[in-house]
Chains A and B, each alone.
Chain A
Amino acid sequence: MDKVRIYRLSERSITVSWEPGIRPDIHHQVMQLDKRITADSFPGWIENVPAYHTLTIYFDPLKCSPDQEKCLHTLISTETLSGPLTGRTIRVPVVYHKTVAPDLELAAEKLGISIDQLIALHTSRRYHVYMLGFMPGFPYLGELPEQLNLPRKSVPAAKVAAGTVAIAGRQTGIYPFDSPGGWYAIGKTSISLFDHGKAYFEPGDKVEFYQVNQF
């Protein structure tokens, strides 16, 4: 396994980092290692946090052997981190309309395409859930078609409504709760993304958006 870097994030965590980037093949390895460690965890293991090109492993240093880093090196260099992963495919209904998506017209204008084209492009792909972060349940989905690539707003909106589907860079995401946000709001879904301690998505899931006229 080349170009893997392992570093301590804190006394209680180690990060395994592949080559930085947003790539399904690298994320596949992240999720493989995640699955491998979850299935056969070591004493003191607490949790894994998958991200785009990193897996961060939290543990209790009191219960865990001081050689944990070495063990990880061995695991990564000896295991083939390939093979199928059973991610779910989840279809998400979205209303793309200016009444619920304040930035829909602005985004289309900035991108130099029509609203219909924007919707067609956004619903044209199956996206990959690279990670959840920013707030409980917020999925980072990639990768957007190049034609939808917009830098995030220079001044974030003070309030983005819960359920807002938004885009920024080559990413798209959904806001679980009302919050400030710097992404362009292009649609809204009725799905509840974080409820009673449960997130709707998991890292590794696949997401397809489809257009609906109302909830």
Chain B
Amino acid sequence: MSLSIIKTGVYCSVQDQGRWGHQRFGVPVSGCMDKHAASVANILCGNAHDLAVVEFVMHGACIRFETDQLIAFSGGGAIPVSGHRELLLHRAIFVPGNTVIDLRYKDKGCRLYMAVAGGINTPLVMGSRSTYEPASAGKRLAIGDELPIGQRADISQRMIGKKVPKEVTIAKWGAVELLEEMNTDCIRVLRGAEWEQFSEPSKKKWLSACFQITQASDRMGYTLSGETLGLADRQDMVSTAVSSGTVQVVPGGSPLLLMADAQTTGGYPRIAQVIDTDISTCAQKRPGDKIRFREVSDAVSQELYFSRIEELKRLEKTIRVKFSI
């Protein structure tokens, strides 16, 4: 039971919901950049939401399934195609053995997630399958890599049905309504811990100007251009914990939005914290894309956090009912 990588595209890696519990030793959480999309893809093919998936950056990758599998795609940045047939996002898809899938160009989004029923079953490193090369946790995927796949859950088996199809089969049901959010360019933020120390013009610019995601952007963080920001009075800061979503302002005045591979501590003033829900939106932005920031309250960010989890639970339940488990 495996799939093989024929072409990698820009970058692809195995990721799950993150490597927690080792940040005090300087080990980043990592995991999927768009954790929501990965959860949706998992649930749609009958997996627990937190199993490991493959994260593809943009188009160009090509994969082959050696055996029959049930899969699902979510996220953006590429269109999965089998032969001449476009494979819809947010649907369970049955693929028979020897199926080849290409990821074709798409003008929106940045990261596509592919879940496979049973989960990608690479070895756990410090409790997670997320790739983080500096800590020798996995490796970026390369041509010829074969990925093991775990044991399918009963519900995935039921989705395939008793009569196993002979060709690629896309489920007629799905979770299409979950697709819209990533298209917004408005990112909601909380005030950062050093917000009060920024100059008034900087605070104003932060919440009104457009910022562009520069080429200096990767899984660790996005450097933003557009306006430079600064403190009211120059002062040195002592390093403290930072997390994905933290926006630090580096010397020179550029905002640096930390993403999944964020280092665990940082010493630059923090102007904002992107709310957890909108980190996924940021994960679907590519260099050149523009974003704006809008402040929300703690209460709103928490409400959104919980409602997103509810959304996933509802999806899980709907599928359970449909396949009566």
Tell me whether B193 and A132 are in contact (CB under 8 A). Answer: no
Bound state CA distance, A132 and B69, in angstroms?
A: 42
B176 within 8 A of A: no
A1 within 8 A of B: no
Known: A12-B276, A136-B134. A49 touches B241 (CB 8 A): yes
B59 to chain A, nearest CB (A): 30
B317 within 8 A of A: no
Tell me whether B26 and A15 are in contact (CB under 8 A). Answer: no
Partner of A11, one of B23, B136, B275: B275
Contact with B along A12-56 (1 / 0, CB 8 A): 110101001110000000000000000000000011111111101
Interface residues of B in 9-31 (CB under 8 A from A): 20-28
Tell me whether A132 and B25 are in contact (CB under 8 A). Answer: yes
What chain A residues lie within 8 Å of B242 (beta carbons)? Answer: 9
B233 to chain A, nearest CB (A): 14
A73 within 8 A of B: no
Bound state CA distance, A87 and B99, in angstroms?
A: 57
Bound state CA distance, A50 and B241, in angstroms?
A: 8
Tell me whether A61 and B240 are in contact (CB under 8 A). Answer: no
Tell me whether B263 and A135 are in contact (CB under 8 A). Answer: yes
Partner of B23, one of A53, A58, A61, A179: A58
What chain B residues lie within 8 Å of A12 (beta carbons)? Answer: 243, 276
Bound state CA distance, A131 and B48, in angstroms?
A: 35
B6 to chain A, nearest CB (A): 31
B237 within 8 A of A: yes
Tell me whether B237 and A20 are in contact (CB under 8 A). Answer: yes
Tell me whether A197 and B240 are in contact (CB under 8 A). Answer: no
Known: A8-B298, A51-B265, A194-B135. A137 touches B25 (CB 8 A): yes
Partner of A203, one of B21, B24, B246, B306: B24
B324 within 8 A of A: no
Tell me whether B238 and A53 are in contact (CB under 8 A). Answer: yes
A210 within 8 A of B: no
Tell me whether A46 and B21 are in contact (CB under 8 A). Answer: yes
What chain B residues lie within 8 Å of A196 (beta carbons)? Answer: 136
What chain A residues lie within 8 Å of B302 (beta carbons)? Answer: 11, 61
Tell me whether B134 and A51 are in contact (CB under 8 A). Answer: no
Partner of B240, one of A10, A11, A17, A62: A17
B99 to chain A, nearest CB (A): 36
B309 within 8 A of A: yes
Contact count band on B: 35 or more
- CB closest residue in chain A, given B265: A133
What chain B residues lie within 8 Å of A17 (beta carbons)? Answer: 193, 240
Tell me whether A52 and B239 are in contact (CB under 8 A). Answer: yes
Number of A residues with CB within 8 Å of any CB on chain B: 43
What chain B residues lie within 8 Å of A136 (beta carbons)? Answer: 22, 25-28, 134-135
Bound state CA distance, A202 and B265, in angstroms?
A: 15
Bound state CA distance, A10 and B125, in angstroms?
A: 25
B301 within 8 A of A: yes
Bound state CA distance, A198 and B27, in angstroms?
A: 10
A4 within 8 A of B: no
Tell me whether A47 and B239 are in contact (CB under 8 A). Answer: no
Bound state CA distance, A36 and B276, in angstroms?
A: 28
Known: A9-B193, A49-B264. A61 touches B26 (CB 8 A): no
Known: A10-B276, A11-B276, A51-B265. A133 touches B238 (CB 8 A): no
Known: A135-B134, A194-B135. A22 touches B238 (CB 8 A): yes
Interface residues of B in 239-262 (CB under 8 A from A): 239-246
Bound state CA distance, A140 and B306, in angstroms?
A: 36
What chain A residues lie within 8 Å of B309 (beta carbons)? Answer: 62
B126 within 8 A of A: yes
Known: A61-B305, A131-B265. A47 touches B24 (CB 8 A): yes
Q: Contact residues of B with A, CB < 8 Å?
A: 20-28, 125-126, 134-137, 190, 193, 237-246, 263-266, 273, 275-276, 298, 301-302, 305-306, 309
Sample of 20 more A-B contacts, CB < 8 Å, known A15-B193, A21-B238? A8-B190, A8-B273, A9-B241, A9-B273, A11-B275, A11-B276, A47-B21, A47-B22, A51-B265, A54-B241, A58-B20, A132-B26, A133-B263, A135-B26, A136-B22, A136-B25, A138-B26, A194-B25, A197-B22, A197-B137
**What are 6 A-B contacts defined by CB distance under 8 Å?**
A10-B276, A12-B243, A15-B193, A136-B26, A194-B135, A197-B135
